[in-house]
Chains A and B, each alone.
Chain A
């Protein structure tokens, strides 16, 4: 696959559905947030050792989901292109919830607020969680601006980002645990 070069030099880009829009467009903005989230997740996976190959694969699965979400967000409502896109299925949401359960099963109960940090892998997971929440806000805003509230939700994107944020919080705690680094609790 070759990369397009130069068509956006003047601050205009193409949506997947073909429209030329400014790069500050809310749809482009939402895609950018999802892209940033995927990049941070990549950093988290890269910081994990080979001993956690299963977790790395799990994170890559999320990154794959985020590409599908980005494609959906980059397509205007009503475009025939959307018929080609794969939404987040209820089954996939359940898989995220199952993964969350697996992570939490090995964690001690949460006794207080945590300060993001600890091992570098946990720190990356916390950053990913906050970027995920920002992406969620952008998608919500986009849906409202486009007058299509409920569409992104119905396609599973908002529920997915909501579940993913929770998963990433658990992932951060799990990373600290497997690295032997205690979570940093808030002393008040």
Chain B
């Protein structure tokens, strides 16, 4: 019997753009032969550590884009934040089943922080008609807001630590509890453990028959 082996792709850091004080977008060269579906992730290694990141780009984009939250003392996020352009990396993938699926139920995307990355990828691939509950501590952390607002049927920015015009003041789960009509939805949750736990419980209690797809980020 052969042991399964995932052959790594090699790439280089192509570009980096800071989205806020805490997060940045990094573009990697796209290796030939690499294909993915919106919502999937790659497992990046710099030789000493490896981490999973959702791709935040269209499946046919020239570069592979990631939305990275800089974690204090985080090995790979610090590396990606500081690596000179051209620095080599390897990755495996694509990984994961966090994929948009057409359904009779209305889709509700719920993201916190950099967890919005897979939804950006889905929107870039042409997914429309979704409600997006976009949670962040502050308005400056609503990454990709303009593009996502334009692609969604309803875009709801939810700020937990500050008030801003046009934003719901509270958590995404608070908005869902107060404003989502009782019926079955297809929930797609990507973000913190706390958000995923709260919205999943809400789905169990208030929206029976819903599908709940989850992806955890920090």
User: Which residues on A are within 8 Å of B, measured CB to CB?
Assistant: 1-7, 10, 12, 14, 16-20, 57-58, 60-62, 64, 71, 79-81, 84-85, 95-96, 98-99
Contacts and interface: CB of A to CB of B under 8 A. Distances in A.
Given A2-B216, A18-B211, A81-B99, A62 B1 contact: yes
A79 B100 CA distance: 12
A5 B204 contact: no
Main secondary structure of the interface of B (DSSP, over half): mixed
Interface in B169-218: 186-187, 193, 196-197, 200-201, 203-204, 210-214, 216-218
A2 B69 CA distance: 15
Nearest to A74: B97
A18 to B, nearest CB: 3
B213 to A, nearest CB: 5
Contact of A14 (B3, B99, B200): B200
A19 B207 CA distance: 12
Given A1-B52, A61-B1, A84 B212 contact: no
B2 A84 contact: no
B94 to A, nearest CB: 10
Closest 9 CB pairs of A and B: A18-B211, A6-B197, A2-B216, A7-B200, A61-B3, A80-B101, A64-B4, A95-B1, A99-B1
Contacts of B193: 2, 4-6
A144 to B, nearest CB: 25
Nearest to B41: A1
Given A5-B193, A61-B1, A84-B99, 9 more contacts: A4-B197, A6-B197, A7-B197, A10-B204, A20-B204, A57-B3, A62-B1, A64-B3, A81-B101
Contacts of A14: 200, 212-214
A95 B218 CA distance: 40
Contacts of A96: 1
B196 to A, nearest CB: 6
Nearest to A81: B97
B1 A2 contact: no
Contacts, number: 71
Interface residues of B, number: 27
8 contacts: A4-B214, A5-B193, A5-B197, A10-B204, A12-B204, A57-B3, A80-B101, A95-B1
A3 B101 contact: no
A84 B97 contact: yes
B211 to A, nearest CB: 3
Contacts of A3: 216
A19 B105 CA distance: 12
A62 B101 CA distance: 30
B71 to A, nearest CB: 12
B99 A2 contact: no
Nearest to A98: B1
Given A2-B193, A61-B4, A95-B2, A18 B212 contact: yes
A164 B71 CA distance: 44
A169 B65 CA distance: 49
A4 B196 contact: yes
B3 A20 contact: no
Contacts of A62: 1
Nearest to A85: B97
B52 A17 contact: no
A173 to B, nearest CB: 18
A143 B62 CA distance: 44
A1 to B, nearest CB: 5
Contacts of A85: 97
